[in-house]
Amino acid sequence: MTGNIEPWVTMKDVQEHLGARCETIARWVGKRNMSAYKVGRQLKIKLSDIDEWVRSGGAADDEHLTGRGERNLHA
């Protein structure tokens, strides 16, 4: 049953996929409902879930609302 089953990936894989820092991803998981599941001591994530989350606006820059956050690339 290994056909088209999507593998679970680690935070490092998500960092490479999104080009974001580990701290940023952890903040998104904790405060912005990014999908992640704890397996032992590690977070495991499906990249398709991350892509959907990004497309839905989950990673949108809210620096103008909080005064903090990632650099606004649209400025």
Per residue in 25-62, pLDDT (tens digit) is 999 998 888 999 999 999 999 999 999 999 999 888 75
Task: Give me 65's structure tokens.
Answer: 């609302």
Q: Per the structure, how many domains does the chain have? A: 1
- Domain range for 52 is 11-57
Model confidence, pTM: 0.69
For the chain, where are the E strands, in sequence order? 37-39, 42-44
pLDDT of res. 28: 92
| pLDDT, position 61 | 72
pLDDT at 68 over 60: no
> Is residue 20, in this structure, part of any structural domain at all?
yes
Tell the residue number behind the tokens 């701290």, with chain if given.
23
Query: Would you say residue 62 lies in a domain?
Result: no
| Domain-located, residue 71 | no
